[in-house]
Structure 1
């Protein structure tokens, strides 16, 4: 049974804005009152902050990535409903299994197998797949993938539904109408503070819309890379952050569904002794991954790695058989695949389903954020490919 009534999708939703958002100026989203943190896009949300650990002076922030949930595949038969049931069971097990709470969740694209949805109830699937996170009260964000743009579903429609059912628990945002290109409205950032009372964040989570799929006009494909307009937006937002917060002691994680084309070469250079993790999916089939089409997402990749300092890692999904972290040589940045989490979507024997965890640690009185990451696989409850990210990782 669907939890909420259905929402009829219209192409106009591609440019819809969340309630209360003024589209007349990109600066209207920011709070400048002395009583509130400056440059705060979430005045009505909880303040995201690291938590005290059992070690004196140590603070932790655990972020868990679910990717490629592919909810709603084959909804017309028992097989499809069973895959959704198993996906929900995996989500609940992850949220319940750790003694320490997960501080934040990212759902990194392909939330829905959109080509299998029906127009009259497609966004009802958002209600269902977000239920475990809403039940547990964990804050979360989403990115969206090529299967989330289809004739009966759009990235914008999914975001609108998400915000309607979890308005203060979801940190997802629709960006300005001139940022993201056709089919790519989900470009935004989220601040995380060391202490709730701090005036400036120690970590910024960046989310980028890599688009892809098809428009609401049947047969009209959408470009499957981060649009050039996002490059300028990154530069502008970073400049605002630097002006408000300074340039030191701020770290970042970046998320997008489809990896940059540079990652094809990164895979070709993998050394499993330095970069553990399953490597079952060959890259190079998507337009952004194809080295022959390297200029497609180059403006975005240049801007991200030029303007976002102390970038711990860039995290993508999309390629279900991969779960490694490696250093991308052209920008000297660490790239990580998440883990295929859903029972919808393609798979192979032995790949399994699971999540990627990040444990970020700060020791008060020292500089920097220590980042550890690993894969958890539901089959057998196995943890694997645990690595510490930093200047020396993958070299």
Structure 2
């Protein structure tokens, strides 16, 4: 039975563009096993010796604004200063850029990706591993998500961003991938999977609006990748964290139910058309009433993605940007998925003085099992760190 399952998975794996080593046999059973190598030329990422793994998230940098009046240059310099300070002070093990790296409306075709060079320079210099999602402003007439992904691959050896295989992600949405994190580089299976999804949005090269939700094809890909992981590593207790730029549509209904004493964090950006995925998929009447529970995801065009995400084993949260005035965490009651907004990091993009600028940090801590180095994630904590030095909205995931 296992051998036949392997025959089914092998072609799918090659179609997905994942490096699969030649099948080996289990030393006791002789059954073929699958070995996953999503990054065969890169160093394995692992937890520190103290059992911690820290992620710092930069969101909505919006480089490249107002090139004619010089304001954009000042904003970009401030954003670069902020990044360098946080890389120094937070000392992260991994960095995530969670969308809208560039305000692509202002770019020219011949120099659009040079903004990626500016954004990544602090990471390249510090030699810190990182990866990106991309937002609606990263898909514009002179820039695309794929352009930015290819630029990262070209100039940043510590980037783990990669494009989805053909047929996954839909038009304008190539940025669907996952990154394994091991408790130790010698472990046979990762302790943590970081998932990255492409919510698309923006416009195509001819100015045609692009869909602003994760394409339905990603749902099947999640299932196939999860099955492939199980074939390679068994049903190990690996944890997961997910990133997507635009919040899933189901989160719009959650905002009205927030309790300021338990759902901590700035909540200053009303969710509605344009601020969640598939803004035209459900009417306001469907989400405005608090008198009865509504499965918002069921009618939205991101429903296949949302349901697939809820099935990712041991998913601690899905984290989004896009709504610059929000930084709260809450659990979506329909499918029980924990959700968090980032902190608006960049000086570009819409802003209010009282919001401040900063990052969201996520700290994973391991619990050893017995005397071995095989570990499982015991605790996940997240908080907002402001440039001013203030910390707030600390919660366990």
TM-score of the two chains, using structure 2 as the length reference: 0.86
Structure-1 residue corresponding to 2:46: 49
Displacement of 1:26 in angstroms is 2.3
> Is 2:288 the partner of 1:283?
no
Structure-1 residue corresponding to 2:71: 79
Structure-1 residue corresponding to 2:165: 176
Structure-1 residue corresponding to 2:177: 188
Displacement of 1:252 in angstroms is 0.3
Structure-2 residue corresponding to 1:310: 314
Residue number among 182, 197, 207 corresponding to 2:186 in the alignment: 197
CA contact (8 A) 1:31 1:43 kept: no
Displacement of 1:37 in angstroms is 9.1
Q: Deviations over 1:232-258 (max 9, x none)?
A: 100111110111111231110000000
Structure-1 residue corresponding to 2:363: 359
CA contact (8 A) 2:22 2:35 kept: yes
Residue number among 364, 373, 390 corresponding to 2:382 in the alignment: 373
Structure-2 residue corresponding to 1:259: 247
Displacement of 1:91 in angstroms is 0.1
Structure-1 residue corresponding to 2:210: 222
Q: Deviations over 1:49-73 (max 9, x none)?
A: 00022xxxxx000001100000111
Separation of aligned partners in 2, 1:238 and 1:336: 23
Separation of aligned partners in 2, 1:299 and 1:240: 20
Displacement of 1:113 in angstroms is 0.1
Question: After superposition, where does 1:100-139 map in structure 2 within 5 Å?
Answer: 101-139=91-129
> Is 2:394 the partner of 1:386?
yes
Instruction: Tell me which moved more, 245-254 or 140-149.
Output: 245-254
Separation of aligned partners in 2, 1:31 and 1:70: 40
Separation of aligned partners in 1, 2:24 and 2:125: 35
CA contact (8 A) 2:46 2:183 kept: yes
- Closer, same or farther: CA 194–213 of 1 in aligned 2, 3 Å: same
Q: Deviations over 1:236-284 (max 9, x none)?
A: 1111011111123111000000000000111111111111100010001
* Corresponding residue SS for 1:266: helix
Displacement of 1:27 in angstroms is 5.3
Separation of aligned partners in 1, 2:300 and 2:353: 35
Displacement of 1:227 in angstroms is 0.2
Separation of aligned partners in 2, 1:318 and 1:80: 19
CA contact (8 A) 2:278 2:300 kept: no
> Is 2:247 the partner of 1:243?
no
Instruction: Tell me which moved more, 103-112 or 71-80.
Output: 71-80
> How much is the aligned-residue C-alpha RMSD, in angstroms?
1.9
Q: Deviations over 1:97-118 (max 9, x none)?
A: 13xx310000000000000111
Separation of aligned partners in 2, 1:334 and 1:236: 23
Separation of aligned partners in 2, 1:150 and 1:141: 21
* Corresponding residue SS for 2:73: helix
Separation of aligned partners in 2, 1:28 and 1:205: 16
- Closer, same or farther: CA 128–333 of 1 in aligned 2, 3 Å: same
Structure-1 residue corresponding to 2:327: 323
- Closer, same or farther: CA 332–222 of 1 in aligned 2, 3 Å: same
Structure 1: where are the runs of 5+ without partners?
1-22, 54-58, 390-395
Q: Which has the larger radius of gyration?
A: 2
CA contact (8 A) 1:32 1:39 kept: no
